[in-house]
């Protein structure tokens, strides 16, 4: 992997089942030291991580940045692979605690930069805005569940012949792209490449372009891509290639994308709700295959269901945008009473220690 490489993912998704977290997968792959940031709205968690990430990239280190599914312009975590050091927002909805305190994890209390006495004067408004914010998220999750259910109705049953064709296609790709053997243990990291956010559906497409020169795009309105993606994950593991398995952000039980950076290879699904425009990518028109035996009326019905489902998801994004406005209002109540000079000083202290190849010991 080249130096100074930035990759971005999500570790949380606004799904049909509510907030879905894969933060445990992230924390388990930070062997040297994990810094768990604690503190409420507007206390500088994202500012601290952004400062460290920017400084490490400027010094030539690769950085994995984790975007927030509530606000994709904000950071929830950063990881520096060269040093095996990570920083993560450990507050709700993805509460994280140290498994081995001091040994391989430390807490950073950014709440100490609050002027608590000043903030308490806005206590009534803070409670009101927080309650309204949580209520909007409940509405958003109900709408996402409805949209996802309608999209599922837009998937036809797959015939045995179609399933056999999928297996042959998977075998063909594997024979072309995944040759060789290895005794190295399988390594699979779990991430989200997409998220339904206040900005609509956001995809970290630059990550794919940074990690892969050869990209396959698989149509997946019919839900058939899983039958190709799962064998690809298994094949990559058999030859000892590290895999990044990206879950479907609406239905996390399903795989959406597979990245094999060691082979410069990526497999991405696209749907009506989330199309991909990737010049030079190889395109598997799986939906055409799945619908070939359907009547014109049946295909038209499926398209209507997909449009309806996508419309509901757009509605959900609108609700998330309303929630984001309330979150901004909440942060505005806190920000004037935060010692950001202290936050930046702490970030600089960590950054300089990291650049000197050390692990900061700052509690």
Q: Are the C-beta atoms of residues 269 and 256 closer than 8 Å to each other?
A: yes
Q: Provide the pLDDT for residue 4.
A: 65
Q: Provide the pLDDT for residue 363.
A: 44
- 363 within domain boundaries: no
User: With a threshold of 0.85, does the pTM exceed it?
Assistant: yes
Number of domains in the chain: 3
Same domain, 314 and 350: no
- The CA radius of gyration of the chain, in Å to the nearest whole number, is 22
Give per-10-residue mean pLDDT for the chain (363 aa): 77 97 92 93 95 94 96 96 94 90 93 96 97 98 98 94 92 90 81 97 95 96 94 94 96 97 95 87 94 94 96 98 97 96 96 84 55
Same domain, 20 and 99: yes
Q: Which domain holds residue 45?
A: 6-114+339-355
Same domain, 325 and 226: no
DSSP string, 152-207: HHTSPPPPHHHHHHHHHHHHHHHHHH------SPP-EEEEBSEEEEBTEEEE-HHH
Angle of helix 123-153 versus helix 296-334 axis, rounded to 10: 170
Same domain, 127 and 229: no
State the Cα–Cα distance between residues 136 and 30, nearest whole angstrom. 34
Q: Provide the pLDDT for residue 5.
A: 80
- 362 within domain boundaries: no
Q: Provide the pLDDT for residue 335.
A: 95
**DSSP assignment, residue 343?**
H
Q: Provide the pLDDT for residue 1.
A: 43
- 198 within domain boundaries: yes
Same domain, 162 and 263: yes
Same domain, 83 and 104: yes
């Amino acid at each position: 992997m080249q130096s100074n490489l930035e990759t971005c993912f999500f570790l949380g998704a606004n799904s049909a089942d509510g907030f879905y977290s894969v933060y445990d997968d992230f924390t388990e792959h930070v062997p040297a030291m994990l810094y768990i940031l604690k503190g409420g709205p507007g206390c500088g968690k994202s500012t601290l991580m952004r400062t460290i990430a920017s400084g490490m990239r400027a010094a030539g280190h690769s950085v994995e940045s984790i975007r927030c599914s509530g606000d994709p312009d904000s950071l929830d975590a950063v990881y520096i692979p060269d040093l095996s050091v990570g920083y993560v927002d450990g507050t709700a909805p993805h509460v994280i605690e140290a498994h081995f305190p001091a040994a391989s994890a430390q807490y950073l209390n950014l709440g100490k930069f609050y002027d608590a006495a000043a903030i308490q004067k806005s206590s009534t408004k803070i409670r009101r805005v927080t309650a309204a914010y949580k209520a909007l998220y409940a509405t958003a999750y109900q709408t996402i569940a409805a949209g996802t259910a309608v999209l599922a109705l837009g998937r036809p049953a797959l015939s045995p012949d179609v399933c056999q064709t999928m297996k042959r296609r998977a075998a063909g790709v594997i024979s072309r792209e995944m040759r060789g053997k290895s005794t190295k243990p399988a390594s699979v990291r779990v991430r989200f490449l997409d998220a339904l956010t206040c900005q609509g559906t956001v995809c970290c497409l630059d990550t794919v372009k940074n990690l892969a020169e050869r990209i396959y795009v698989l149509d997946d309105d019919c839900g058939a891509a899983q039958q190709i993606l799962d064998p690809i994950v298994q094949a990559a593991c058999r030859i000892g290639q590290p895999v990044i398995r990206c879950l479907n952000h609406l239905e996390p039980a399903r795989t959406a994308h597979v990245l094999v950076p060691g082979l410069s290879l990526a497999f991405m699904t696209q749907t009506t709700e989330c199309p991909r425009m990737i010049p030079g990518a190889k395109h598997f028109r799986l939906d055409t295959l799945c619908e070939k035996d359907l009547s014109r009326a049946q295909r038209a019905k499926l398209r209507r269901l997909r449009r309806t489902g996508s419309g509901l998801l757009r509605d959900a994004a609108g609700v998330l945008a309303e929630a984001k406005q309330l979150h901004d209002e909440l942060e505005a109540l806190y920000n004037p009473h935060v010692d950001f000079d202290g936050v930046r000083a702490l970030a600089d202290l960590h950054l300089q220690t990291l650049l000197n190849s050390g692990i900061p010991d700052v509690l």
